[in-house]
Amino acid sequence: MTFESIRALLTARMAAFTGLEQSRIDYPNQPAVFTPPDTGLWARFTIQYATAFMAGMADQPYTRKPGQISIQCFARERTGTKAITELADALEAHFAYWQSGLLECAEATQVVAGEFEGFYQINVNIRFRAG
């Protein structure tokens, strides 16, 4: 698989998520500047690649490309943690152990990042491997 095909599949999977309006999701390097909504939850989607490695050799080398999806979930400070935790749980259910062709997602981990600059944050990290 190419890195572009991995990006396209994972981004399409995020776009299929119905637990948050797409206008509330910040995707990397978009033409328009993302502005967090004044109220409610929002998220930032990022794909982080790890070092690819040769996993086999036949008529040509066979490469695996691992990485991690990181979805940063945000709520305004002092609005409680129930809604953001439910969002993180829904994202975990949407991505964990999902597979499409040679791309497979593994377990999801939630990391509470706490409060910063007016937002409370939980990161949902999902490992993946392709190839």
| Among the four given CATH numbers 3.30.2000, 1.10.287, 1.10.8, 3.40.50, the one describing domain 3-55+62-68+81-130 | 3.30.2000
Whether residue 58 has pLDDT greater than 90: no
* φ and ψ of 34, to 5 deg: -80, 130
Report the predicted TM-score, pTM, of the whole model to 2 decimal places. Answer: 0.93
Whether residue 59 has pLDDT greater than 90: no
Q: How many CA atoms lie within 13 A of 75 on its CB side?
A: 18
**Residue 92 carries which side chain, given as an amino acid letter?**
E
Q: Is 104 within 8 Å of 128 (Cβ atoms)?
A: yes
For 17, the 3-state DSSP assignment is coil
Q: Where are the domains of the chain?
A: 3-55+62-68+81-130
Give CA–CA dist 74/84, Å, rounded.
Answer: 7
Please compute the mean of the pLDDT values over residues 42-68 and round it to a whole number: 93
How does pLDDT run across 76-99, given as a tens digit for each residue? 999 999 999 999 999 999 999 999
